[in-house]
Amino acid sequence: MALKKVDTAVFISGNGTNLKNLIRFSLSKKSPIKIKFVVSNNKNAKGLRYPKKFNINFKVYSFINESKSENRILKDLKNKKIKLICLAGFMKVLSKSFIKKFGYKILNIHPSLLPKYKGLNTHKRVIENKEKFSGCTVHYVNSKLDSGKIILQKKVKIRKKENYKVLERKIQKQEHILYPKAIMKVFSP
């Protein structure tokens, strides 16, 4: 008998290429997760086209009052019996209280080899510092930015004269491979 998939919410703020990729993955037989809900803080997020396209429930929360929005999200997650959150380009830092009250795993993908280059504008900073390698990381979320325990990383080599836009695209391709792999790792028996 097939195991029940973990009901999952994906949080986004922007383009949603990782969301699209996770939806595709979740529809495969081998996926341990099922994406039931998409959360955004940005009503104009391009990525909201994917829950529409794949008929997945979604909701936008204003975050004008952060703690009120977090409490509303928690209530909705509870009603939908969500047992995993995957952050995918979500531009808000979830509070300690949110993480504690949710009580299940929260994962994030970050476009650097953490603990190096936490925060924003990663690729630009990497190129400016003339790094030879960069990459991406899937990690557990705690209340400190980009600091939870690392699940998986993928390293990529930076070519001479590569600009940060090219590096961004190259790393995004790897992100789309790494996130499903990390989820498989988290839920492998």
| Contact residues: ligand GRF, CB under 6 A | 12, 14-19, 47, 88-89, 109-111, 136, 172, 175
SS3 172: helix
123 catalytic residue (yes or no): no
Q: Which two tokens stand for residue 165?
A: 């836009």
CB of 102 to ligand GRF, least distance (A): 19
CB of 117 to ligand GRF, least distance (A): 11
DSSP type of residue 48: G
Q: Which amino acid is at 168?
A: E
Contact 117, 125 (CB under 8 A): yes
Contact 181, 26 (CB under 8 A): no
Closest CA to 34 of 61, 55, 65, 60: 55
72 strand-pairing partners:
none
Tell me whether residue 71 or residue 181 sits nearer to ligand GRF (CB atom). 181
CB of 78 to ligand GRF, least distance (A): 25
List the alpha helices (DSSP H) in the chain. Answer: 17-26, 49-53, 66-79, 96-102, 122-128, 164-187
Tell me whether residue 48 or residue 77 sits nearer to ligand GRF (CB atom). 48
Residue nearest to ligand GRF as judged by C-beta position: 89
Tell me whether residue 36 or residue 139 sits nearer to ligand GRF (CB atom). 139
CB of 95 to ligand GRF, least distance (A): 18
Tell me whether residue 75 or residue 169 sits nearer to ligand GRF (CB atom). 169
Closest CA to 43 of 72, 12, 66: 12
By annotation, the residues acting in catalysis are 110
